[in-house]
A and B are shown apart, each in its own frame.
Chain A
Amino acid sequence: MILGCCGAPAWWAGEEASFQKEVDAFRNKWVSLGQPKVILACSTCYKMFKENLAEIPILSLWKTLEQIGLPQTEGHPAVPPLAVHDPCTTRREPEMQQSIRKLIGLLNRPVEELRLSREKTECCGFGGLMQDANPALAREVVARRAKESELDYVTYCAVCRDNLAAAGKRTLHLLDLIFPDSADKDPASRKRPGWSQRQENRARLKAELLNDLWGEEGAKMEDHREILLHMAPEVQALLEQRRILVEDLQKVIHHAETTGAKLVHPKTGHFKASFKPYKVTFWVEYSPSDDGYIVHNAYTHRMEVPGGTPS
C-alpha cells in the first residue's frame, strides 16, 4: 500500500522538474517493491500513470471491485436514484465509467445520467488547478455543475466530491456506498474539509495504517504540533481563504515563543510574530490563553526581508 502523489498538481502547474522528481520517485519505489501491479482509486492518478509510467501495470480500484465482488452490505431500502458525476480525468476511460455504473447497480441504486456525462463530463472546478489560479471561475463552474440535477450526486473522485459538497450539492463518493461508515449516517451532507483538516486527516490515516496494519509506530509529533490554538469562526474562514494552515500558525508561534522574537502591542497585549519555514513568510497576531493561544489574524508574503526576523 502506498500513500502518495502521482505528481498531477505539479504537472498542471507547469512545474516539470517537480513532476519528474515525483514520477521517478514512484518508479524507484515500485521497482524496490518487486514491480507489482498497481491498483489506483483515483482517476487522475490513473491518467497520469497511463501517460507517464507506461511500464507499470495498472488497474482501477473500480475494475478490481467489479472482478472480486463487493463486500456484503445490508440490503438497501427503496431509495431515489443518484446522478453520476464522472471526474474529468475519466473522459477517455469508458471502461472505468462502465465499472462505476455496474457497481452502483450492484448496490441496488438506480442511476440517472447528467446531461453532460462520460466523455463529455464537466469539471468540478479543480482540474488544471483552476481553483488556485482563478477561484472565482472555479466557483462558477462547480455551481453550474451542481445545478444539473435535483438528485444527490455520486462520484468517484475525492476532489470532485468535496468541491460539489462545498457548492452546497449533496454528493456521495462511491466508497461511501461500498464501505458505509456506521458513524456517518448522511455522508452526502459531509462538508468539504478545510486545508488543515485535510492535512490532519492524511496524518491520522498514515498513523492508523502504520499502527493497525503493520504494528509500527509513526514518527514522533514535532514540538510545534503540540501547540493548542483557538480561533473565532470568522478568523478560521479568513485563514482558510488565505490558505494558511494550522501547522503554519503553530510554527510561527513556536518560533516566537522559543526565540522571543515577537512584537507586543501595549494596548491590546497581543503578540505579532513572523516565520519563514520555506518560501513564504507567515505573520500571526495572537495572545495567550489558559491552555494555548488565541489566533486573531494571520497573513503571508513571498517577498523576503533579509535579517528582518532575528533568530
Chain B
Amino acid sequence: MKSPHARPEDLEWKCGRCNQELVVGQVSVEYLGNRFTTELAKCPSCGFVFVSEELALGKMAEVEQILEDK
C-alpha cells in the first residue's frame, strides 16, 4: 500500500478519549503474514488509528483480495 492514505476530512475527527486532533502518522498494517507501512490519521497521544470507509472498502479491500488469491 502506498502512502499517504489520510484525507483532509479524516483529520476532522478528534480522539474522544484524549480530546486531541488527529494527525497523519506512520502506521503498520498486516494481513496474512504481510506487513506494510503507510500513513494514516491517528491520535498523537493514544495512537488510535482511523481507517476511513473509503480506505477500508477501496484500497484495503483490494490488497486483501490480492493477498487472499495468492
Name A residues whose Cβ lies closer than 8 Å to a Cβ of B: 256, 259-267, 271-272, 274, 281, 283, 297, 299-310
Chain B proximity of A255: nearest CB distance (Å): 12
Q: Which of A301, A307, A310 is in CB contact (< 8 Å) with B61?
A: A301
| Given A299-B56, A300-B56, A274-B51 contact (CB < 8 Å) | yes
Cβ-defined contact, B30 with A306, below 8 A: yes
Please list the 7 inter-chain residue pairs (A to B) with the smallest Cβ-Cβ separation, ordered nearest first.
A308-B49, A301-B56, A263-B13, A260-B17, A262-B16, A303-B31, A264-B16
CA distance A260 to B20 in the complex (A): 13
Cβ-defined contact, A310 with B46, below 8 A: yes
Q: Which of A263, A301, A306 is in CB contact (< 8 Å) with B60?
A: A301
Give the contact-size bracket for chain B.
20 to 34
Cβ-defined contact, B31 with A302, below 8 A: yes
Cβ-defined contact, A303 with B46, below 8 A: no
Chain A proximity of B70: nearest CB distance (Å): 14
Chain A proximity of B17: nearest CB distance (Å): 4
Could you pull out 23 A-B pairs where Cβ atoms are within 8 angstroms? A256-B16, A260-B17, A263-B13, A263-B16, A264-B14, A272-B13, A274-B51, A281-B51, A283-B53, A283-B56, A299-B57, A301-B51, A301-B56, A301-B60, A301-B64, A303-B29, A303-B30, A304-B29, A304-B30, A308-B42, A308-B47, A308-B49, A310-B48
CA distance A266 to B47 in the complex (A): 19
Answer whether residue B24 sits at the interface, using C-beta atoms and an 8 A cutoff. Answer: no
CA distance A261 to B20 in the complex (A): 12
CA distance A268 to B17 in the complex (A): 17
Name B residues whose Cβ lies closer than 8 Å to a Cβ of A: 12-17, 22, 27-31, 40, 42, 46-51, 53, 56-57, 60-61, 63-64
B61 (CB) vs chain A CBs: closest residue: A301
B56 (CB) vs chain A CBs: closest residue: A301
CA distance A307 to B57 in the complex (A): 21
A256 (CB) vs chain B CBs: closest residue: B16
Q: Which residues from A are CB-within-8-Å of B49?
A: 305, 307-309
B49 (CB) vs chain A CBs: closest residue: A308
CA distance A78 to B14 in the complex (A): 67
Cβ-defined contact, A265 with B51, below 8 A: no
Q: Which residues from B are CB-within-8-Å of A300?
A: 56
Q: Which of B15, B31, B48, B57 is in CB contact (< 8 Å) with A308?
A: B48
Chain B proximity of A138: nearest CB distance (Å): 19
Chain A proximity of B65: nearest CB distance (Å): 10
Q: Which residues from B are CB-within-8-Å of A267?
A: 12
Chain A proximity of B61: nearest CB distance (Å): 7
Cβ-defined contact, B64 with A263, below 8 A: no
Cβ-defined contact, B46 with A305, below 8 A: no
B21 (CB) vs chain A CBs: closest residue: A266
Q: Which residues from A are CB-within-8-Å of B64?
A: 301-303
Chain B proximity of A176: nearest CB distance (Å): 39
Cβ-defined contact, B14 with A266, below 8 A: yes
Cβ-defined contact, B56 with A305, below 8 A: no
Q: Which residues from A are CB-within-8-Å of B14?
A: 263-266
Further pairs besides A297-B53, A301-B56, A308-B51: 9, Cβ < 8 Å: A262-B16, A263-B50, A283-B53, A283-B56, A301-B64, A302-B31, A303-B30, A305-B49, A308-B48
Chain B proximity of A240: nearest CB distance (Å): 16
Q: Which residues from B are CB-within-8-Å of A309?
A: 48-49
| Given A261-B48, A283-B51, A309-B48, A304-B31 contact (CB < 8 Å) | yes
Q: Which residues from B are CB-within-8-Å of A306?
A: 28, 30
